Structure 1
Amino acid sequence: MQSKSQLVTSIEAFYARHHYWTPTNEKVTRIETPFVNRHRDTVIFYVVQETKQGLKLTDGGYTLDDLEGEGCFSSRSPQQLQLLTGQIERRGVSFDSESHEIFLRTSTQDYARHQIQLLHTLLFIEDLFSATAFQHDGPFIDQVHDFLTSVKRHITAQPTLADSSNQTRYADFVVVSSEHGPAKLIWTMNNADNRSYAAAIIIEKCQIQSQHANTEFYVMINDEAPVAEDVIQILKAEDITPVLFSKRYEHVAQLTGQANWDEPEC
């Protein structure tokens, strides 16, 4: 297991070493990334050269078509479309409602940072709409929001933060501490077996902490399905506290600074 400093410094080399470029025609290149989806297939996107310096990075519609084919996502659901478009837009990525493409446009100069931006968005969207996301009380990310607002007034949903290179990084929530205590930055993880998304969260965290030293990091995990123990251990090794959603009230004092809190009766 790499230390945090080693992980931060090796990110660019990691991407360079494990991306595989396959030209499909004169203007389209297929990129195989070092991450896998829930099927254990390589996450792929395409680079389309639209002008001499202009590039389009796209998943070709695969991510949402695959989710819809398995009944995890419905393009006919206003609720799901609203959730999708809101999350994609805040990440600076676009969505084509006809082709289901998730894409962004960039230049050859900015390609490196935008490929990471698109890739992390694809991993996030797959996790957001995984099979258990809409059971019971609505989307898991909304359940986490409802829990946090019930125990702490001062939270910010969908925060964006800058890293040391002034690149935008993303989390799902930040809990603002009183006085001079640390802020709590929180991600949600709907698929508890999603190792690639766990890795993406770690990368985001390692980049964020260089500019936000007085911050603690958490991942709220949907544990309706069994949670992969190695995912828990990977997060802990990088100083990220995993919180199983079924045990969320055990962490209220840690998250909010409130010494006593009783779990509400069902």
Structure 2
Amino acid sequence: MMFDINELNNTYTKWNKDNIHIVDQGDFVEITTPFVDNHHDYLQVVLYYNDNGQLVLSDDGYTLNELTLYEIDYKRSLKRKEFLNQTLKSFGVTILDSDLTITFDKVKDFPRKLLNLLQCILRLSDMLLTSRSTVTSIFYEEVGIFFDDNNILKIPDVGITGTSGNENKFDYIIPASRVKKEKVIKTINKPNGDNFKYPLLSFLDIKENRAKSEFVVIANDYVNEISEKFETSFTNHGISVLRWTERKTWIDNLNPTLAI
């Protein structure tokens, strides 16, 4: 069967006309697209002329403000910063203040530039999913940044040999002080299912060698609820489980310089 190219072109043109709504707001044009964000709202961008007479498409700060609202640190997390810069470069997008923008000279370039900006917005919105994904290295970075912000001295990526003779990796150690014990910490991004097994075995393997230490799990419950099985598997062995959403309530207890 042969394709009717004219029919395909007409269908695509009609779809664009029916689904992309452009409204003149005076100083700018508001464009509502059929693409949806993480709240299932239609993505909107604006088009205006800058002082140099160039056309500017902008998300009006929506994307980066949304990341900030959900406490997704794209400035200091190396992985997120790299992802941000690469995405901007791929679609020819720049940041102006907190706006994602594309600047161009000719109206005929508008459709292509609009598509580039929308693709960029959608790809960067994927960072909102990192709070619920299994990319533990990113959650590990978030925890480290949080410690830094609260002046918590930490030693990252520590290997401790257990009674098995094997080296067990832990995300952070907070050194002991005169008022508090050493904290040995693992971060777990998805605190459900069987994700407790390997971390628990690591703690049990070093329990004898680190008898004076406290063992701590920091669990990312931002989207995934902590299952009862996950939590009791640790607490039954005297290992604390700290909820990431409650971090402002427990951070002082980790500070070795503050008395309980």
The alignment's TM-score, normalised by the length of structure 1, stands at: 0.45
